[in-house]
Amino acid sequence: MFDKSLVHLFPFNGEFFAVDVNSGSLLNLDDATYFYLEKLEETDSKEEAFNLTKEKYGKEIAQEIQEEVNELIKDGILFSKPPKYFESNLILKSMCLNVAHSCNFGCLYCFAKKGNYGGSDALMSFDVAKAAIDYLAKNSPGREALEVDFFGGEPLLNFEVVKKTIEYAKETYKDKNWRFTITTNGSLLSDEIENFLFDNDVSIVLSLDGDKSVNDKYRVFRNGKGTFDLVFPKIKKVAVHRAESGGYYVRGTYTHDTLEISKTVMDLHNFGFKYISLEPVVTKEEDISIKKEDLSILKKEYERLAIEYVNSQKDETWNFFHFNLDLEAGPCIQKRIHGCGAGVEYIAVSPDGSIYPCHQFDGIKETKLGDVFTGITNKELQEKFRKANFLFNKEECAKCWARFYCSGGCLANNYVMNGDIFKPYEIGCEIQKMRIEAALYVAYKLRELGIEVPTTQLSEKRDSVK
Amino acid sequence: MNTVRHVKIVSKKPFWNIDKAHDCRACQTPCKSACKTSVTVGNQVCEIKKPVKRWIW
């Protein structure tokens, strides 16, 4: 009854917390209550937990705690029952347009194999992009908001097609609410490009791994030379241009070799960036991949980052994407049990028009679902993805305390690391869990301090802040 | 925050705080946000509940 998969207990920076998994309730506990709940989960017996607490803290305290905990259980705040949910009928709403299977960089960790996804360099033609937009618009019944991310390789190598595609979508499907994003290494940015993107409400993800020493370890040109000096001023200019409006994230990748993430994120913040994201690399390459022995370092790093993040908000508010956990306005339970929608609600299109379940599957021939001209032909595979998107179809996820935060994890990571979209990538899961704990701590502290962190959601229109 | 003697309730049943029939799925696809290589759903924002003064879709 008092199962660990129902209430997750964790200490953080000398404080104690409980998350009620099924209701999402977050509690800050004193040490005696934490001890009591730990014993309750270990022994599955109120009587034994009470006796052990009595031995350590005395009868009066043990009684008070037991009464409080009983009240919380009665109110459905601790050890609550599962929320009501059902398997949603996922309908296409989101597309990654890989407009360039080519890149002017040669980043050493790139999952796209230096931009061409293991094939030949190629740019998407406008005809293919147009067919992709038609496919998205016509295969998303009932969806008013449609999302398109221009991706690569480096999508700005094909800016004319990006531009024409945005104009085509808006003009042709006026009844749709188009939400555009572009992910770029920043090297080809110009005032003209940024002005077009800004004027068309295109959100932008700018790749930068940290300061020059960190960034230039892996983000290099094809000749091995670091890219920081070229991209930093351009990325900074976009961030300054969007300082008031938001609609951008500076996004980095960290590796086994660059685990000092608290310093990296704070460096990015000190450069003046307001919206920052930093993700672990996912690869099997020995020198780069995150190892099990790195996890204890990362746990300390996320803890350090959370503390520094909270402290720095007192001077000037800013946003670290992975701590951006809204305790009240977070997603509904239906969203939380259906993950990213890869292969069904979300697809990626390569330059020749092939459809893949997501951008990370692009180029993996056996995962091709069809193409934008004839539609989905491998319906069996799509059905498999539909099933894999449902949290409770993944055995290990169904009993994990973090299930309603990560929603079953990344199917591409599972495939790359385990060869099976149903089998979670263990190291990724551990990182996800430590990030969630840090985010919950941050949410608690910011609420206690009465600080509201600025939020921006990519692909939004700027109407409300103009 | 609701405080009793030993426990502070920071957030009370947010997953149950559904004020309208959900499953509208109008919220952002995780990989359209700033993650790109890992699903991050818990920090997405609900289209119905999100604050008004922000960029809106």
Choose the closest CB to A345 out of B29, B34, B48.
Answer: B29
Percent of chain A at pLDDT > 90 equals 85
- Give the number of other Cβ atoms within 10 Å of residue A121's Cβ: 15
Both structure tokens of A381: 């595979």
- Kindly state the average pLDDT of the residues A384-403: 95
| Residue B22: predicted pLDDT | 62
Q: Which residues contact B38 (CB under 8 A, 6 or more apart)?
A: A279, A280, A282, A409, A410, A413, A428, A431, A432
Is the pLDDT score of A13 beyond 60? yes
- Kindly state the average pLDDT of the residues A444-466: 72
Tokens 């709940």 sit at which residue? A37
Domain map (residue ranges) of chain B: 8-56
Q: What pairing do the DSSP bridges indicate for beta strands A248-254 and A15-20?
A: unpaired
| Residue A230: predicted pLDDT | 98
| Residue A452: predicted pLDDT | 81
Say how far apart CA A17 and CA B32 lie, in whole Å. 31
| Residue B29: predicted pLDDT | 85
- Kindly state the average pLDDT of the residues A83-105: 93
- Kindly state the average pLDDT of the residues A206-227: 97
Say how far apart CA A326 and CA A443 lie, in whole Å. 7
**Cis ω for the linkage preceding A153 (within 30 of 0):** yes
* Mutation site, B1, B3, B4, B11, interface A, largest A CB count within 10 A: B11
pLDDT of A253-268, one tens digit each? 999 999 999 999 999 9
Is the pLDDT score of A462 beyond 80? no
**Does the beta-carbon distance from A23 to B32 stay under 8 Å?**
no
Kindly indicate the confidence band of residue A132, based on its pLDDT and cuts at 50, 70 and 90. very high
pLDDT of A364-383, one tens digit each? 999 999 999 999 999 999 99
- Kindly state the average pLDDT of the residues A112-136: 94
In B, minimum Cα distance to A337 occurs at B41
| Residue A253 bridge partners (DSSP) | A279
Is the pLDDT score of A436 beyond 90? yes
| Residue B17: predicted pLDDT | 66
| Residue B52: predicted pLDDT | 41
Is the pLDDT score of A139 beyond 60? yes
Domain map (residue ranges) of chain A: 7-75
Task: Count interface pairs A-B at CB distance under 8 A.
Answer: 252
Is the pLDDT score of A16 beyond 60? yes
Is the pLDDT score of A61 beyond 90? yes
In A, minimum Cα distance to B32 occurs at A149
Instruction: Report chain A's mean pLDDT, rounded to a whole number.
Output: 94
DSSP code of residue A204: E
Say how far apart CA B38 and CA A277 lie, in whole Å. 12
Enumerate the residues of chain B whose CB falls inside 8 A of the CB of residue A330. 14, 42-46, 49
Distance from CA of B48 to the nearest CA of A (A): 8
**Does the beta-carbon distance from A331 to B10 stay under 8 Å?**
no
Is the pLDDT score of A463 beyond 70? no
Of the candidate ranges A50-59, A115-124, B24-33, B42-51, the one whose mean pLDDT is the lowest: B42-51
Q: Chain B within 8 Å of A282 (Cβ-Cβ)? A: yes
| Residue B56: predicted pLDDT | 29
Q: Chain B within 8 Å of A345 (Cβ-Cβ)? A: yes
CA distances from A329 to A275, A432, A465, B16 (A): 19, 20, 20, 12
Is the pLDDT score of B36 beyond 90? no
Q: Which of A278 and A334 is assigned the larger pLDDT?
A: A278
Is the pLDDT score of A21 beyond 80? yes
Is the pLDDT score of A456 beyond 80? no
| Residue B50: predicted pLDDT | 64
